[in-house]
Structure 1
Amino acid sequence: MSTGAHLLDQKTGVEVYPVVEEISSLLNRSAQDLDASLTTGERADLRKAVSELNAQSTAGDQGAFYGQQLLLSRIYGLSTQLPEAPTAEGSVVVQEVLRLLEQATMATEDAMLEPGILDAAPTEPSPFLSWLKKLAREHRVYKHPYYREFIRHQATEDDLRNYVIQESVVDGRFDDLLAMMQVGTSGAAKMEIAENFWDEMGNGDPSQVHTHLFNQIFRVFDIPADELERSLTANALLSGNLAVLLCRYRQLYPEAVGFLGMTEWLAPDRFVQVVHAWERLGLPDVGIVYHKLHITIDSRHAAGWFHNVVVPAAESERMRRAIARGTLWRLNSSARYLDERMPDLAAH
């Protein structure tokens, strides 16, 4: 199955679930106007349609899964992008839809956890951290063949171009994720997140801001902004949505600790393969600065994150369980995302 065929399957699914475009069309209206314009019955119809979309996604309908994650991503855009005109941010109607989408997404991730795995976590902080790392090392996503075989040895320029588009949902806004996540923290954890954020800000040098460096890759491949959304797969959208979901809600802070910590821990080995492919293909050096930088920076960030954020939080049973939950959400969703890319490997 080619990537093009896969995307076609997803996007035709959106046509089957018109609620995706119906609600998307409402997001450009002001919250006050939107809430005043819909009757109680119309709001109930929207909730019913979204619930049906969620149910079909849970049942394995890939078109519904794509529509679900696309809609969730668009709603998150209300609070992660600066608008040029009034939007539906703060709308009660949109909030009702958002919660339905979030709850279904979380339930799906929880359903994929191995039964009893969260109960198996050690109760002491240091053994708990060792257990988390062991979970990752024994997970099928660890040193995934998509990176170590396909990207490193076989990926073409077009393959790397598509890879960058899919990665943009997390790498392209990691600074904003950290900014959202740190609200309400204190002590060593807040300082660690702040140091991580300042590194993302290029330590005060605008030319070295990591999102700026990441965007240089878009220039190398001539990727316009309007191409990004329509090229994202459902699992790529999910990766970005999970990151925003966990970072924006204070009650999900420990899940964010596990999710982002594991993201940084896995990144250096993955980016080594990307750099190798980039140099193998002789692509412009300006486009690989971001990945080269993160091979060393993310190793340091992961170590600091584990020591200053994970270990202190792991004194609490509630925090340990939630950190493990977020870690596994990252491992499992990343595995599905990379497995999705493997048909390309077979084609080569």
Structure 2
Amino acid sequence: MRNVDTPTPLRPERANPSAFQQRLSRWNHRRLQPAVPHADWATDAQEDAEMILIEGAWVERLRAEAQPWLADLPEDPARFVDWFEALQGAGPGENDPLFPWLAEEADLGQMRWFLQQEVAGEAGFDDLVAMAQVKMPDRPKLELARNYWDEMGRGNMGGMHGPMLGKLADHLRLTPTIEGTVWPSLALGNVLVAFSTTRRYAYHALGALGVVELTAPWRAGHVAAGLKRLGVGPERKYYALHATLDVEHSRTWNDEVLTPLAQDHPETIRSLAEGAVIRMMAGAACFDAYRDHLWGPQMEARSA
């Protein structure tokens, strides 16, 4: 008889979250990278089959951990959107003291470390939206297309959001690696990839991506202010842009994605809500890990 504590594909090891998230990150990098036919395709397919089970078990655990935040989740579509919008400022990780500190006190070395973690965990909002929109109803699909077009600079290479972040990373000589990244940052990217690439979590993806648009402006504004204080010039545009543009993105996402889905497909409400809360919980874990590294126990005690 199998020992119940033995790790299996459906019970991924919890004792070493860093190794677990690194494994997921390497798998996501391999499976999402464009390739050409090669002799090892069957080996890759075998890994995919195992990792899909492992990833699924992990997401199901995250769903269970999110339930306390959903105790007051309304079933009425209009009240659901109000509930969703109330996550701004009140959900997991909101108003974290790390961000005013980045704006006002962090030195360049500390800011570089923070940004290196963020860049390493970045899953690519444009690609996530593109994968999540497959087979969605028409009205949400159109808004996802508009959002994607903005992410792509409306057809202007210089306005693409992903390369903007890359320019900042190049300017600050950031060298992100999977091994050099705190595991909650890897987990943040991994959960978004899991949502957007797995159709049973497609509505979780829309909730998670929508809450990014809802909550990012406050954090992005503080990072942009810190970069300006430290003398970073045009390269800070990525954060300055998201401090303002995402306000409008959030409004239209709530109006054109969440509202029609909740009205026409009320069975998706819980998935949308779970995705939002799980994304916020993953962000909160990142902020805790960042403060642990950047502040240390003495400063953490003073801020408590």
Counterpart of 1:271 in structure 2 is 220
CA–CA distance in structure 1, aligned partners of residues 158 and 257 of structure 2: 29
Change (3 A) 1:249 1:114: closer
State which of 67, 70, 73 in structure 2 corresponds to 1:121: 73
What is the CA deviation profile of residues 299-344 of structure 1, one whole-angstrom value per residue up to 9, with x for unaligned ones?
1111110110001111233200101110110111111111111122
The alignment status of 1:338 with 2:287, answered yes or no, reads: yes
- TM-score, normalized by length of structure 1? 0.77
Measure, in 2, the Cα distance between the counterparts of 1:228 and 1:197.
27
Structure 1 residues 193 and 170, CA gap change in structure 2 (3 angstroms): farther
Cα 1:83–1:162 change in 2 (3 A) is: farther
Shift of the 257–172 alpha-carbon distance from structure 1 to 2, 3 Å rule, reads closer
Deviation of 1:141 after TM superposition, in Å, equals: 1.2
The counterpart of 2:119, out of the listed 155, 161, 168, is 168
> What are the residue-to-residue correspondences of 1:42-57 with 2, within 5 Å?
51=9, 54-55=12-13, 57=14
SS at match of 1:228: coil
Evaluate the alpha carbon distance shift between residue 119 and residue 314 of structure 1 in structure 2; reply closer, same or farther with a 3 A threshold.
farther
- Shift of residue 69 of structure 1? 1.0
Match of 2:164 in 1: 213
Among 53, 61, 65, the alignment partner of 1:112 is 65
The one-character-per-residue Cα deviations of 1:53-104 (angstroms, maximum 9, x if unpaired) are: 823x1xxx3xx11111111111111232224784648844212321232123
Residue by residue, what CA displacement relative to the aligned partner does 1:155-181 show, whole Å, maximum 9, x if unpaired? 121222122222225646111111111
Kindly state the Cα deviation for residue 212 of structure 1 after the two structures are TM-superposed. 1.0
Instruction: Tell whether 2:146 aligns with 1:192.
Output: no
Are positions 1:183 and 2:141 aligned together?
Answer: no
Q: Say whether the 8 Å CA contact 1:172–1:215 is kept in structure 2.
A: no
Q: Is the 8 A contact 1:50 1:97 kept in 2?
A: no
One-letter identity of the residue aligned with 2:61: T
| Counterpart among 262, 273, 276 of residue 314 in structure 1 | 262
Q: Do the aligned residues in 2 keep the contact of 1:53 with 1:68 (CA within 8 Å)?
A: no
Distance 1:203 1:50 in 2: 46
> Among 29, 33, 37, which residue is 1:77 paired with?
29
Q: 2:252 aligns with which of 286, 304, 309?
A: 304
Residue 247 of structure 1, CA deviation: 0.6
Equivalent position of 1:141 in the other structure = 93
Q: Which has the higher contact order (CA 8 A, sep 6+)?
A: 2
| Correspondence 1:99 to 2:52 | yes
Aligned to 2:3: none
Larger helix fraction of residues: 1
SS of 1:230 mapped into structure 2? coil
* Greater displacement, 165-174 / 331-340: 165-174
Structure 1: tracts of 5 or more residues without a match? 1-47
- State the alpha-carbon separation in 1 of the partners of residues 121 and 42 from structure 2: 22
Residue 215 of structure 1 aligns to a residue whose secondary structure is helix
Pair 1:75–1:50, CA change in 2 (3 A): farther
Matched, 1:234 2:192: no
> Cα gap change, 1:136/1:269 in structure 2, threshold over 3 Å: closer, same or farther?
closer
Q: Read off the aligned partner of 2:47 and give its amino acid letter.
A: V
TM norm structure 2: 0.87
**What is the CA-CA distance between 1:241 and the residue it aligns to?**
0.5
State percent identity of aligned pairs.
Answer: 25
Whole-angstrom distance in 1 between the partners of 2:89 and 2:161: 28
SS at match of 1:237: helix
Alignment RMSD: 2.3
Alignment correspondent of 1:326:
275
Residue number in structure 2 paired with 1:156 = 107
* Match status 1:223 vs 2:174: yes
Partner of 2:209: 260
Aligned-residue offset at 1:136: 4.1
Match of 1:37 in 2: none
Contact 2:207 2:274 in 1 (8 A): yes
Moved more, 209-218 or 103-112: 103-112
